Structure 1
C-alpha cells in the first residue's frame, strides 16, 4: 500500500515531469538570446521565451489548485479561477472545444481539486481533438461533477480509471496514476466517490463530493 509520503513524492515527480519541458525551453532560449545578434532571430527568441513563460505559469497555476492547498482563497474557490486554468492548458490545442456548464460562482476547495483533475484527465484523452464538457452543481449537500471527453479516438489508460474508483489492490501507484489516487482518497475521506465510463468515442468522469459541514445552505 502506498503511504502518504510516497504519494506526495509521486505527485512531485509528476509536477517536475510536466514542468521540465517549458522550463528547459526557457533556459535554451536564454542561451540562444545571449549569442544571437540578428534582430529578427532575437525577436523570435523573445517570442519563444514569452510562450514558454506563459506555459510554465499556466501549469503552476494548475498544480497550485489541483494538487496544492490553494493558499490565498478561503474555503471556497471562484469557479472562474478553475475555468481560467483549464482554458489556459487547452489554449494551444485548437482541436479541442471546451464547454462549461457550472452555474455556481464558487465551489469548495476539495470539489475544485477534483474538478480540475478530472478535467485534466479528460483533456489528456483527446489526443486527436474533440469536445470537453465540464459541469458541476450543488445538490442536496453534495457537489456533483462531470467531465466528458468526446472525440474520434479516445486515449485512456484504464489503470487511471481503476485508481479513480479506489481499486488500490489492482493498480500500482505511479506518477501517471498518482493524481487519480489522490482525488480518490480525497473523495473517500469526505464520504463521496468517483466513477468513469468509457466507449470508443467518449470518456465520462464523474464525482460526488459532499460539501463540508457548515457550508451547506
Structure 2
C-alpha cells in the first residue's frame, strides 16, 4: 500500500490565480463551442428516427456516441472551466450527468454528497475523478462523499495500475513528460492551493482514494 501523502502547494498569489483563470477560460471556451454542435447532432438523430420509425444499428451507435460525448463535454466544462465560490451546482444535475457517463463506460460513479454544492468543490471532485481514472484501466466503482466540508473519493476495482511518478504530481512533483491527458494532475493541486485545501491520496492493489 502506498503511504498516504498530502501537500499544500505554496501559493503566491496573483500569478497562480491569473494562470488558473487563463486555463479555466480556455476550458470554458472549448466546451462552450462544442456543446452546441453536439446538441444539434443529437437533435438531428432524433428527427431522423422519428421520420423513419425504428432506429438502425448504425443510427443507434451514432446516438449513443453523441450522448457519451455530450456528457463528457459537460463534465469537462466543470472540471476545466471557470468556477467561483458563489456558484453552486445542483445535486440532480451532477447525478444525472454521472448516470449518463456510467451508462456508456467501464466506470460507475456514485455521487453521495447531499444537496447543492459550491462549483469550485465540484470542480476539484471532477479533477480528482479524472486522476483516479488513470489508475483504473479495468474500470470499477467510484463513490464521492462530502462530510462536514471534507471530500472523499473512493474507487474499487479488480486491479489498479498507478503511475507513481504521475501521482507524485499531486504532491507538487510534476514529471517533465506530462501528457495532455494527464493535465488534471497539475490542475488539482493548483485548484486545492487556491482554496486552502490539502490533497491526500492512497492507492492499494484494488482501491484508490483521494481526499481534500
Q: Establish whether TM, by shorter chain, passes 0.5.
A: yes
Offset at 1:77?
Answer: 1.4
Distance 2:122 2:178 in 1: 23
In structure 2, do the counterparts of structure 1 residues 124 and 117 end up closer, same or farther at CA, with 3 Å as the change threshold? same
C-alpha root-mean-square deviation of aligned residues, in Å? Answer: 3.5
Q: TM-score, normalised by structure 1?
A: 0.66
Residue in 2 that maps onto 1:75: 87
The equivalent position to 1:194 in structure 2, one of 165, 183, 199, is 199
Q: Is the 8 A contact 2:83 2:120 kept in 1?
A: no
Write out per-residue CA displacement over residues 86-143 of structure 1, whole angstroms, 9 at most, x where no aligned residue.
33222223x644433212x111111000111212332443322432221113x3xxx3
Higher strand share: 1
Sort the Cα spacing of 1:79 and 1:165 in 2 relative to 1 into closer, same or farther, 3 A: farther
Specify the alignment match of 2:131 in structure 1: 121
Alpha carbons of 1:178 and 1:77: their partners in 2 closer, same or farther (altered >3 Å)? Answer: same
**1:62 shift after superposition:** 0.7
Given that residues 195 and 206 in structure 1 are in contact (C-alpha distance below 8 angstroms), is that contact kept between their aligned partners in structure 2?
A: yes
Runs ≥4 residues deviating over 6 A:
none
Give 2:154's match in structure 1, choosing from 136, 143, 148: 148
Cα 1:8–1:114, aligned 2, differ >3 Å: closer, same or farther? same
Paired residue for 2:61, among 20, 37, 48? 48
1:120 to 1:158, Cα distance in 2 relative to 1, 3 A: same
User: CA separation in 2, counterparts of 1:70 and 1:189?
Assistant: 12
Aligned length: 177
Kept in 2: contact 1:98–1:132 (CA 8 A)? yes
Gaps of 5+ in 1: 34-38, 208-217
Unaligned residue ranges in structure 2 (runs of 5+): 1-15
